[in-house]
Amino acid sequence: MDRQVLIESFRARERAALKDLDAIAGGRSLCSISRQGAPVPAAKYHEGTVAALAEARRAIEALADGPDGGQSARAALLDVRARWLAQSRTRGRTGPDWTGYLAGGLDGLEQMIDNDGGLDALDPRN
């Protein structure tokens, strides 16, 4: 799979998650929503999705082109997922907002892994 196609796939999913986040936020900033004092796990979910997808996209963009590009991209994406999994197990990352944020990030990454335009397409065994 072409690295640029994968990057564009991440960008498209980022845009969709940003749209979802904007719909939930109703045009308000996340800071103003958070200052209301009530947990906002739905907004945090979409924020986490955007953050994780952007992190994964940047990891792919940072890779040098080469013959093992697909394997390098796969390794980079699995590394991003491993970091998000580790965060979800970190002490202090609890509460509805953290739970929503980390769940959104992990879900976004898993969708890319399971999607035909994501990690599976990079696996030479497929």
pLDDT, position 125:
45
Who contacts 63 (Cβ-Cβ below 8 Å, separation ≥6)? 3, 69, 72, 73, 76
* pLDDT attached to residue 41: 74
Closest CA to 76 of 7, 5, 126: 7
Interaxial angle between packed helices 3-25 and 69-88, expressed in degrees from 0 to 180 and rounded to the nearest 10: 30
pLDDT at 3: 77
Q: What is the pLDDT of residue 126?
A: 43
pLDDT for 65 equals 76
Q: Answer yes or no: are the C-beta atoms of 109 and 80 closer than 8 Å.
A: yes
Q: What is the pLDDT of residue 37?
A: 65
- 80-115 pLDDT, tens digit per residue, is 999 999 998 888 888 888 889 999 999 999 998 887
**Stretches in the chain below the pLDDT threshold 50:** 116-117, 121-126
Query: Using only C-alpha atoms, what is the Rg of the chain?
Result: 15
Helix axis angle, 41-61 to 3-25, nearest 10°: 160
Q: Are 73 and 4 in contact (CB under 8 A)?
A: no
d(CA 11, CA 56): 10
pTM of the model: 0.80
